[in-house]
Amino acid sequence: MFSNTTRRLIEWGDCDPAGIVFNPKFFVYFDHCTALLYGAAGFGKSTMLEEFGAAGAPVVKTGAEFHVPCTFGEEVTITSTVTRVGTSSFDVTHRLEKDGVLRVEGKETRVWTQRAPDGSGLVSAPLPEALAKVFRG
């Protein structure tokens, strides 16, 4: 399956008064890493919106396991891997590591969406085959 790795510096604003990353911040990291995953696959946001007519791929299920705290000033790597590709949804696993030690593992399920024809909101739609092909590896 397709993956992308990025580095991230833990910033002061990411941390709670104890100096460790405030847990909800990891979900912000993971969302950003999913956007980077699209770009690494060759499908940046403008392509998704214009060429594929997407409204986005919102998270419908998420979770994380926290193994070791991350602290201010550390540089970590986050490897995001597409672990399942369905008709209109896909799963991504994010592994945040420092020096080869798994610190946090996050998982999310996202659904490909388009705007409803009647303008009432979003509706699920099949993943574009070009994107699904890259995600499958």
* Cα distance between residue 44 and residue 13, in whole Å: 27
Mean pLDDT computed over 107-116: 95
Q: Where are the domains of the chain?
A: 3-136
Pick the range with the lowest mean pLDDT from 13-22, 32-41, 44-53, 61-70. 44-53
Average pLDDT, rounded, for the chain: 95
CB contact at 8 A, 135 and 41: yes
pLDDT tens digit sequence for 120-137: 899 999 999 999 999 998
Compute the distance between CA of residue 77 and CA of residue 57 in angstroms, rounded to an integer: 23
CATH architecture of 3-136: Roll (3.10)
Q: State the pLDDT confidence band at 46, using cuts at 50, 70 and 90.
A: confident
pTM for the structure as a whole = 0.94
CB 125 within 8 A of CB 57: no
Beta bridge partners of residue 130, listed in sequence order: none
Specify whether the backbone of 130 is left (phi greater than 0), alpha (psi in -120 to 50) or beta: alpha
